[in-house]
């Protein structure tokens, strides 16, 4: 009797596992297929692309790369450099100042502490697009269009990253450590920079990656502020590609542009996927 029930349970388990694997493989296929097609198509010439669909790579990769890299109207190497510069600045500023703000609220007891905390929490969910009108007008008035300052400096105030850092500090920083540093004669800023920041390294790294990627992919605000050709970022160029009538284009080159736009993030992700996936949950709400 017991044996029979055991068998039934095992069969159920095997069925459940099989179903789970089929669903997982199907979803993985969905996620990977378009990128697989992108890579394949970037190795084919315009003529080969027009003549039909294939799952096997061809030999046109480096010719497409050369054509895309040297394209006159879409200066992709310049765009990548611009995007990289903005994203690198944003990721450093966001993580450093979010950690600084979180530390200030976590460690010091001052009158407006609760207010500051609840204020940041309250504005955390406001979509950035909602202040775009006033932001653009401000940038116009300061004559800062076609300038990276309005794309970089605002990243100092990032409520979501602040919240992540605050939670991280709560879980890793014992007050005794700060007090010990004080007894050793360390100044408050010195303590933060040389004692606390090293402890926060994992959190800083994860948030640096996320803010880098966020900035690299950012399209809405940069598209409103940058219209000089040599200052444009990658997403603006990609959207430009869409508005040009691309059926007249060399399609091999178009696929290469898209590949170049996502490649840096893909490479970073493949190397650091484990840490990144862990980082997704660490900042979210824990009961």
Partner 1 sequence: MKTKRGSGVSYAKYGYLFILPFFIVYTFFTLIPQLMTFYYSLFENYRDGLTQIGPNFVGLKNYVTLFSPDNTGSIGILKYFGNTLILWVMGAVPQVVIALLLAVFFTSYRMNLKGQQFFKTVIYMPNLIMAAAFAMLFSTLFSNVGPVKQVLLAHDLIDKSFDFLTMKVPVRVLIALMNFLMWFGNTTILLMAGIQGIDQNMFEAAEIDGANSLQVFFRVTLPLLAPILVYTVITAMIGGLQMFDVPQVLTNGKGTPNRASMTMVMYLNNFLTTSKNYGMAGAVSVVLFLVSTGLSLFVYNSLSSQYKDTAHKRDQI
Least Cβ distance, residue 15 to partner 1 (angstroms):
11
Contact (CB, 8 A) for 167 and 283: yes
Which stretches of the chain are assigned E, i.e. beta strand? none
179 binds partner 1 (CB under 8 A): yes
Considering only 22, 172, 266, 267, the residue that binds partner 1 (CB under 8 A) is 266
Please, which of residues 43-72 interact with partner 1 by CB under 8 A?
A: 49-50, 52-53
CA distance 69 to 62: 10
CA distance 61 to 39: 9
222 binds partner 1 (CB under 8 A): no
CA distance 74 to 253: 11
DSSP 43-71: TS-HHHHHT---SS--S-HHHHHHHHHT-
Window contacting partner 1 (CB under 8 A); options: 61-69, 73-81, 197-205, 230-238: 230-238
User: In the 8-state DSSP scheme, what is residue 287?
Assistant: -
By beta-carbon proximity to partner 1, the closer residue of 35 and 230 is 35
Contact (CB, 8 A) for 251 and 42: no
109 binds partner 1 (CB under 8 A): yes
73 binds partner 1 (CB under 8 A): no
Phi-psi region of 185 (alpha: psi -120 to 50; beta: other; left: phi over 0): left
Please, which of residues 183-212 interact with partner 1 by CB under 8 A?
A: 188, 192
By beta-carbon proximity to partner 1, the closer residue of 231 and 254 is 254
Considering only 69, 85, 135, 199, the residue that binds partner 1 (CB under 8 A) is 135
Considering only 65, 81, 195, 213, the residue that binds partner 1 (CB under 8 A) is 213
């Amino acid at each position: 009797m017991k044996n029979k029930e055991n068998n039934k349970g095992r069969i159920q388990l095997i069925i459940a596992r099989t179903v789970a694997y089929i669903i997982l493989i199907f979803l993985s296929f969905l996620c990977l297929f378009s990128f697989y097609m992108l890579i394949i198509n970037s190795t084919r010439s315009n003529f080969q692309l027009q003549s039909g669909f294939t799952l096997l790579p061809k030999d046109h990769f480096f010719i497409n790369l050369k054509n895309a890299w040297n394209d006159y109207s879409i200066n992709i190497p310049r765009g990548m450099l611009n995007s990289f510069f903005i994203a690198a600045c944003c990721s450093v500023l966001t993580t450093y100042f979010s950690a600084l703000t979180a530390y200030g609220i976590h460690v010091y007891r001052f009158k407006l502490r609760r207010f500051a905390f609840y204020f940041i929490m309250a504005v955390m969910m406001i979509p950035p697009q909602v202040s775009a009108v006033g932001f653009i007008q401000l940038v116009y008035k300061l004559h800062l269009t076609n300038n990276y300052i309005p794309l970089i400096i605002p990243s100092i105030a990032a409520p979501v990253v602040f919240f992540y850092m605050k939670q991280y500090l709560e879980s890793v920083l014992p007050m005794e450590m700060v007090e010990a540093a004080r007894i050793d004669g360390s100044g408050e800023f010195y303590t933060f920079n040389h004692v606390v920041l090293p402890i926060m390294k994992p959190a800083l790294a994860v948030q640096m990656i996320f803010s880098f990627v966020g900035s690299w992919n950012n399209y809405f605000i940069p598209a409103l502020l940058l219209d000089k050709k040599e200052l444009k970022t990658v997403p603006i160029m990609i959207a430009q590609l869409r508005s040009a009538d691309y059926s007249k284009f060399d399609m091999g080159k178009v696929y290469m542009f898209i590949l170049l736009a996502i490649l840096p993030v893909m490479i970073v992700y493949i190397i650091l996927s484990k840490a990144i996936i862990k980082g997704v949950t660490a900042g979210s709400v824990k009961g």
